[in-house]
Structures are given as structure tokens and as C-alpha cells.
Structure 1
Amino acid sequence: MPAVPRRLSWAVDTLDVAPGDRLLEIGCGPGVAVSLVCDRLTTGTITAVDRSATAVARARARNAAHVASGRATVVQASLEEIRFDGERFDKVFAVNVNLFWTRDPAAELALIAGLLAPGGTLWLFYEPPGADRAAVLAGDLTRVLSSHGFAPTAMRGGGTLVCVRASIG
């Protein structure tokens, strides 16, 4: 199996997944983070969403045992299309998902705010191409999240890794 990209191992370490956490990953790609998260869960679950049929097929194959155990669910849909039927999440996260800074994410952030359990947090992780860009991105994300009712905190993971953690303000 190929090496886990540093941004994904750092993201999952930073999330500090508790055994009973309920997580939602937006833009799961081939499911590498899903696998890393599931290794830390006992009673918790992760729901992973991606728009790409190819990515979802790869994520389901990579995590077949976790899906079979009920610990992981992988759904092909855009975030705004999926119906959660009242489900709430302790942690919602995304890695290198651009919608949060390339346009106004008002609709998505309102949806996420409604999906967070009391005390839940949103985690946005990025690995931009340079340290200068990382600093700008952290500032941009902090402003966007603040303007939509979140209380964000930016952190760096060395090199160009950026995380903005936010709770409902």
C-alpha cells in the first residue's frame, strides 16, 4: 500500500479522534483519511462524502471492512445533496477542499452549522504550494468563517500545512 500523504496523517492526528466520535468528511477522495480515522474508532462512525463516482468506488474498496462493520459509510453526492435525517456530527472535516475559500460558501457553512452536534467543530485542512500562500489562506479562511458565524482558530503543521478549526460562535 502506498505511503500516506503527510497532510492526511497530520490532519487525522490534529483531529484527535476519540473512540466514540461521529465524523463527517467532505471530499473523501480515495478514502485514505477514512481508513486512518476508522483505526481510531470503537463505537464511533465516519460518514464520507465525495462527488466523484471513481473516488467513492476507491474509498469503498479501501475501507470494505470498515463499511461492513458499520463504522464507515461512503456516499456519492455533493454536500448539499445528501440528506442526513437529523444525524449530527462531533467533527466535520475537509482536506484540500477549495469551496471554502474560492467562493462564498454561505450555503455549505449553514448546512454544516446545522450538522454539528452541540460542541462540535469544523476542521479545514490545506497544503498550499508555499509558506506565503499558507499564511494568506489561513487568514482568508479565518475571515470567511468569522463572517458566517463561526469562531475560527488557525494553526500550522510545519511547512505549508494549514488547519482552521472552527466552532459555532
Structure 2
Amino acid sequence: MAFGSADSYARFMGRFSEPLAPRFADLVGLPVEGRVLDVGCGPGVLTSVLVDRLGAGRVDAIDPTPGFVAAARSRLPGVDVREGSAEALPYADGAYAASFAQLVVHFMKDPVRGLSEMARVTAPGAPVAACVWDHGGERGPLSLFWAAATEIDPSARREADASAGSTEGDLVRLFREAGLAAVESGELAVTIRLESFEDWWAPYEEPAGSVGDYLATRTADQVAELRERCRARLPDGRFDVTAVTWTAVGRA
């Protein structure tokens, strides 16, 4: 999956992930003492919220994409941001008072292994938390796009296809398979205001994520047709878009 630059991905998904981050942190709660870990930190959206609330000295972050690591380091000096995968976290057992994975479980090559590693590096009884867009229920930020694409091209890859944790109950299943205890499930929704269809469409022209991969395979005429299919599904003028995540919080 192509992520493009950190700036491209921020323009593509940032308008949803940025308002989600403080709500996700509120859901989990932050420890009074100890360090916290942001797994799959991307360009540092959730990391920034954690730093604002706890200070840079109590926050570590990790991501497998070099461009994202560089962006997070630049954005958040003083935070230990490392390049690495969730499936092989380079931290000691029980090192953290909480660990977070915002919008990343479905990108893990082995989600159960990744969540098991998060549990390993989190202190016994401390929270391990994740959230994933509800692609399976067609309530994610890209659901309208994929619905329109499938009308034209039934073979279009939808986000729900093989997206770990993105259908009802699946994130909780992964947590339990990873050995986490007292797992609690829930939902978080974010609503954003857009000025026009052009405002809605602009991020889809960024070379980021599964949308970028799919559009790169389309001709100019096919993209134009898809664009008009999307336009027909949305109102004229200003409108709101709501996207929903599944959440899971367990205990190491």
C-alpha cells in the first residue's frame, strides 16, 4: 500500500484522524505516572496529543515508514520516535503504563502478533488500546468512495476486504487472541464540516493509502466517471461527514 509523503497522508486522512486523537486518548485515560507508547504513530497525530497532556519525556512512538518517522521527529522534538514494526517492538517487557494504536491494526502484517507485542511491553494490568475505522459497516471515511467505485468496477478493492478489526466484533477477537484480558469494546465517531464536493474530493488526489493505489490503476476517464458517481451521492454546498471507529481496550 502506497502512503506517499507524510504531508500527503496527513491531507488525505488527517482531517479525520486529528479530531479522533483526543477522543481516543480520553476513552483510554492517561496514567498519572510512567511512560506511554504510540504504536504505528504515522506523522505523530496521536503522539502530539499525548505529548500535550503528558510531556515529551513520557511519550515514545514507533512506525515502520521512514518518512513518517522523520515527520514525527521533526514535529515532536524530545520524543523518542523509532523506526520499527508492531510485530517486533524494541522495548523491554512491562516498560509502559499504557500503549495505543490509532488506526493501525489493519495495517499490521500480523495483527495478533502486533497486539501481543503491545501487551508484552505494557505493565501488567495497564491498558492496551486500539481503534480501527468501521469499514465493514460502511461507516468509515472512505466508505462512500468505495461504494461508488464498486458500482463501476465490481472488483474494486474495498477497505473492508481483509481489513483486520474493521468489522463488528473483530477488533475484540484480535485482542483476545493476543492474550489481552478484560477487553472492552466500543465506538468513537468524528464529524467534520466540508465546504463543497471539491473540498471532499481533493484528498483523493493524494498518493496515499489504498485509494491512491486503486486510482493509480485507473485511466483519466475512469477517474472522471468515479468522481461524478461520488458527486451524485453527496449534497450541494456545505455538508457534514461522520466517520466511526471500532475501539477495544484490554489489560496486559
Map of 1:88 onto structure 2: 95
Residue type at the aligned position of 1:95: Q
Map of 2:111 onto structure 1: 105
Residue type at the aligned position of 1:36: V
Map of 1:59 onto structure 2: 72
Structure 1 position 147 matched with structure 2 position 153: no
The alignment of Structure 1 onto Structure 2 pairs a total of residues equal to: 160
Structure 1 position 114 matched with structure 2 position 120: yes
Structure 1 position 10 matched with structure 2 position 44: no
Structure with the largest fraction of strand: 1
- Provide the secondary structure at the position in 1 that maps to 2:127: strand
Q: CA deviation at 1:160?
A: 1.1
Q: What do residues 109-150 of structure 1 show as CA deviations (whole Å, max 9, x unaligned)?
A: 332222110211110112334755679624011122223322
Residue type at the aligned position of 2:50: V
Counterpart-to-counterpart distance in 2, 1:113 and 1:88: 10
Structure with the largest fraction of helix: 2
Counterpart-to-counterpart distance in 2, 1:29 and 1:161: 17
Map of 2:51 onto structure 1: 38
Q: CA deviation at 1:48?
A: 0.4
Structure 2 portions without partners, runs of 5+: 1-13, 141-164, 190-242
- Aligned CA distance change for structure 1 residues 156 and 85 (closer, same or farther; 3 Å): closer
- Aligned CA distance change for structure 1 residues 51 and 41 (closer, same or farther; 3 Å): same
Structure 1 portions without partners, runs of 5+: none
Q: What do residues 53-96 of structure 1 show as CA deviations (whole Å, max 9, x unaligned)?
A: 110111011112xx1xxxx2100111234421446112111111
TM-score, L = length of structure 1: 0.78
Map of 2:246 onto structure 1: 162
Q: CA deviation at 1:99?
A: 4.2
Counterpart-to-counterpart distance in 2, 1:103 and 1:15: 25
Identity between Structure 1 and Structure 2 (%): 27
- Provide the secondary structure at the position in 2 that maps to 1:118: coil
Map of 1:28 onto structure 2: 41
8 Å Cα contact 2:134/2:166 also seen in 1: no
Highest relative contact order (Cα 8 Å, sep 6+), 1 or 2?
Answer: 2
Residue type at the aligned position of 2:174: V
Structure 1 position 76 matched with structure 2 position 83: yes
- Aligned CA distance change for structure 1 residues 143 and 130 (closer, same or farther; 3 Å): closer
Q: CA deviation at 1:43?
A: 8.9
8 Å Cα contact 2:99/2:127 also seen in 1: yes
- Provide the secondary structure at the position in 2 that maps to 1:110: helix
